[in-house]
Chain A
Amino acid sequence: MTSLWLLPLPIIVPFATAVLAFLFRRGAEGRWISVMGSAATLVLGVLLLMEVLANGPQAAQMGEWPAPFGITLVADTLSAVMVVITGITGLAVAIYAVADITEDMEEMGYHSLFQVLIAGVSGAFLTGDLFNLYVWFEVMLISSFGLLILGGKRVQFDAGIKYVTLNLISTILFLSGIGLLYGTTGTLNLADLSRIAPTVDPGLMTVISMMFMVGFGVKAAVFPLFFWLPASYHTPSFAVSAVFAGLLTKVGVYAMMRLFTLVFTQDIAFTHTILLWVACLTMVTGVLGAAAQTDFRRILSFHIVSQIGYMILGLALMTPLAVVGAVFYLVHHIIVKANLFLVAGVANRIAGGTELARIGSLYKGAPFLAFLFLVPAFSLAGFPPLSGFWAKYVLVKASMDIELWIVAFVALAVGLMTIYSMTKIWGQAFWKPHPGGIVPTLTSLEPGERMALLLPIVSLALMTVLIGLYPEPFVLVAERAAEELLDPAAYIAAVLGEEEILQ
Chain B
Amino acid sequence: MEVFVAIMVGALVTASVYLMLARNVLRFLFGLVLLSNAANLVIFAAGGLTPEAPPLIAPGANAPPEGVANALPQALVLTAIVIGFGLFAFALTLVYRGYQNLGTLDTDEMRLAEPVEAEKT
Interface residues of A (CB under 8 A from B): 131, 134-135, 138, 141-142, 145, 149, 152, 154-155, 157-162, 164-165, 168-169, 171-173, 175-176, 178-180, 182-184, 230-232, 234-235, 292-295
The residues of B that contact A295 with a CB separation of less than 8 Å are 118
- Flag whether B79 is at the interface (Cβ < 8 A): yes
The residues of A that contact B40 with a CB separation of less than 8 Å are 175
A142 contacts B87, C-beta separation under 8 Å: yes
The residues of A that contact B119 with a CB separation of less than 8 Å are 292
Report how far A160 CA is from B32 CA in the complex, Å: 16
Q: What are 25 A-B contacts with C-beta separation under 8 Å?
A: A134-B80, A154-B112, A157-B94, A157-B101, A157-B102, A158-B112, A161-B95, A161-B98, A161-B107, A162-B113, A164-B91, A169-B32, A171-B87, A172-B32, A175-B36, A175-B43, A175-B80, A176-B39, A176-B43, A178-B76, A179-B39, A179-B44, A179-B47, A182-B46, A182-B47
Report how far A173 CA is from B35 CA in the complex, Å: 9
What is the distance, in angstroms, from A300's C-beta to the closest C-beta of chain B? 15
- Flag whether B25 is at the interface (Cβ < 8 A): yes
Whether A131 contacts B79 in the complex (CB less than 8 A), given A158-B112, A160-B98, A165-B29, comes out as yes
Select A232's contact among B32, B97, B113, B118, beta carbons within 8 Å: B113
- Flag whether B114 is at the interface (Cβ < 8 A): yes
B113 contacts A158, C-beta separation under 8 Å: yes
B46 contacts A231, C-beta separation under 8 Å: no
Report how far A181 CA is from B118 CA in the complex, Å: 44
The residues of A that contact B114 with a CB separation of less than 8 Å are 230-231
The residues of B that contact A169 with a CB separation of less than 8 Å are 20, 32, 35
What is the distance, in angstroms, from B118's C-beta to the closest C-beta of chain A? 6
What is the distance, in angstroms, from A164's C-beta to the closest C-beta of chain B? 5
- Flag whether B15 is at the interface (Cβ < 8 A): no
B91 contacts A179, C-beta separation under 8 Å: no
* Residue of B29, B35, B39, B121 with most partner-chain A CB within 10 A: B39
The residues of B that contact A172 with a CB separation of less than 8 Å are 32, 35-36, 39
What is the distance, in angstroms, from B120's C-beta to the closest C-beta of chain A? 10
Whether A231 contacts B113 in the complex (CB less than 8 A), given A165-B28, A176-B39, A178-B43, comes out as yes
The residues of B that contact A154 with a CB separation of less than 8 Å are 101-102, 112
B110 contacts A162, C-beta separation under 8 Å: yes
Select B97's contact among A142, A155, A157, A230, beta carbons within 8 Å: A157
* A-B contact sample (5 more), CB < 8 A, given A168-B36, A173-B39, A182-B73: A141-B87, A157-B101, A158-B110, A165-B91, A234-B113
What is the distance, in angstroms, from B31's C-beta to the closest C-beta of chain A? 9
